[in-house]
Amino acid sequence: MKGPRGTQDLLPGVTEKWQYVEEKLKGLSKNYNYQEIRTPIFEHTELFQRGVGDTTDIVQKEMYTFTDKGDRSITLRPEGTASVVRSFVQHKLFGSPNQPVKLFYIGPMFRYERPQQGRMRQFVQYGVEALGSEDPAIDAEVIALAMSAYRELGLKSLKLVLNSLGDNESRNNHRKALIDHFSPVKDELCSDCQTRLEKNPLRILDCKKDRDHEAMATAPSILEFLNDYSRDYFDQVKAYLDAMEIPYVIDKNLVRGLDYYNHTAFEIMSDAAGFGAITTLSGGGRYNGLVQELGGPETPGIGFALSIERLLMALDAENIELPIDQSLDCYVIAFGDETKVKAASILQKLREAGVQADKDYQDKKMKAQFRAADRLKARFVLVLGEEELENNIIAVKNMETGDQENIGLNELISYIKGII
């Protein structure tokens, strides 16, 4: 049997990379003072319909939705923001004394997409959400955190793309202009875009099918419709980024694939040669109406998410090796029937003392056991023969230098702890 399309098994050798990256991201969250939140992997379908937006591809085409035995419509989460906001409202975190509420998450997300490199049906997102502040400085903070996630791991070929989607007034004016612009060519657009024209014309700008239609290039840009507040907000975000020395390019066509955004929208792309067709590493933005949409008090919010799959692809594309230690502290070799039980007890004591240790379980010859120790990158091999057992000692071989000395069994643990 094979795993479902668009999923992957992470095997030893690869899981170490994931652990390394996840630890880095958790450390980074701590530096920026974001605390972890864990929400369920499935939610009521309505959450995403209302949160992510009924006209988005995610909700229309990509959700894993099923009816459970209690006849409820349930969906495997396609993203994290809606769940975090649902939880924020449900647990009244808006009443917490520490505002804004700054949260991060790492976990699997599910989208029924056409799988290709960097596009999975189950993928892992790391994301942050800052709820309760409409200070442009926190927009810059979230972007800075997103950039640091890559830079800390050594990535250099990064491009930060920025846009503003404005507030409701700006968006409504832009919406009208888009309807005027696309209506004359409505019949030439794909059937999805014909629906979008009525329901959510902004989505047309994100259409993959109509991307090359000539009306796309001349479509009115949101930036021309920003009112004073929105323009000033955007200017301040840019000023903070400048002050933080975070370079960016403005892309007036960046609209993002989820409906909840307003004001700041951004994506980080990889510029690395050989990265592949999908170059977006992460995306995010501000969503000031979402908390209210999900039943909470009017609360501004901003966040972003990246997938670890694409982050690891970017590391590969830039030939970055993560400094992962795959060595083992000790390998215990016992030869002679009498010694086996003693070896098991030594091994147990080592492990209880916090030493990484292993032994043979396949009755291998001594030479083969040394080879096994080599393969496991053991730093020390502890050899217990009948003679050693009689004298209450054990031979400790340093595999790097080849040096060997006999150590009394009573001092073994403190000796090993001293040298590792």
CB of 179 to ligand HAM, least distance (A): 25
Residue bearing tokens 């009115």: 220
Question: Which amino acid would we find at residue 318?
Answer: E
Tokens of 206: 């994100």
CB 313 within 8 A of CB 117: yes
Nearer to ligand HAM, 93 or 332 (CB): 93
111: contact with ligand HAM by CB under 6 A: yes
Euclidean distance between CA atoms 179 and 200, whole angstroms: 9
Q: Among 42, 190, 257, 407, which residue interacts with ligand HAM (rule: CB under 6 A)?
A: 257
Q: Among 127, 136, 166, 296, which residue interacts with ligand HAM (rule: CB under 6 A)?
A: 127
- The count of residues interacting with ligand HAM (CB under 6 A) is 27
CB of 305 to ligand HAM, least distance (A): 4
CB of 124 to ligand HAM, least distance (A): 8
81: contact with ligand HAM by CB under 6 A: yes
Residue bearing tokens 């060595």: 327
Contacts (Cβ under 8 Å, ≥6 apart) of 300: 131, 132, 133, 134, 286, 288, 291
DSSP H or E run through 129: strand 122-131
Nearer to ligand HAM, 7 or 356 (CB): 7
CB 276 within 8 A of CB 117: yes
Nearer to ligand HAM, 119 or 213 (CB): 119
120: contact with ligand HAM by CB under 6 A: yes
Nearer to ligand HAM, 221 or 280 (CB): 280
Long-range pairs, 167-170, Cβ under 8 A, ≥24: 167/227, 167/229, 167/230, 167/233, 167/262, 167/263, 167/288, 168/262, 168/289, 169/227, 169/230, 170/222, 170/225, 170/226, 170/227, 170/230
CB 80 within 8 A of CB 304: no
296: contact with ligand HAM by CB under 6 A: no
**Choices 159-167, 221-229, 283-291, 404-412 (CB under 6 A): range interacting with ligand HAM:** 283-291
Nearer to ligand HAM, 115 or 336 (CB): 115
79: contact with ligand HAM by CB under 6 A: yes
Closest Cα to residue 129, out of 50, 37, 44? 37
Beta bridge partners of 358: 331
Q: Is 381 helix (H, G, I), strand (E, B) or coil?
A: strand
125: contact with ligand HAM by CB under 6 A: yes
237: contact with ligand HAM by CB under 6 A: no
Would you list the DSSP string of 328-345?
A: EEEEEEE-STTHHHHHHH
Q: Would the annotation count 81 as a binding residue?
A: yes
**Choices 88-96, 168-176, 305-313, 319-327 (CB under 6 A): range interacting with ligand HAM:** 305-313
Nearer to ligand HAM, 56 or 369 (CB): 56
Tokens of 27: 């450390």
51: contact with ligand HAM by CB under 6 A: no
Contact footprint for ligand HAM (CB under 6 A): 79-81, 111, 113, 118-120, 123, 125, 127, 129, 257-258, 280-285, 303-307, 309-310
Which residues make up each annotated binding site for L-histidine? 79-81, 111, 125, 129, 256, 260-261
Which residues make up each annotated binding site? 79-81, 111, 125, 129, 256, 260-261
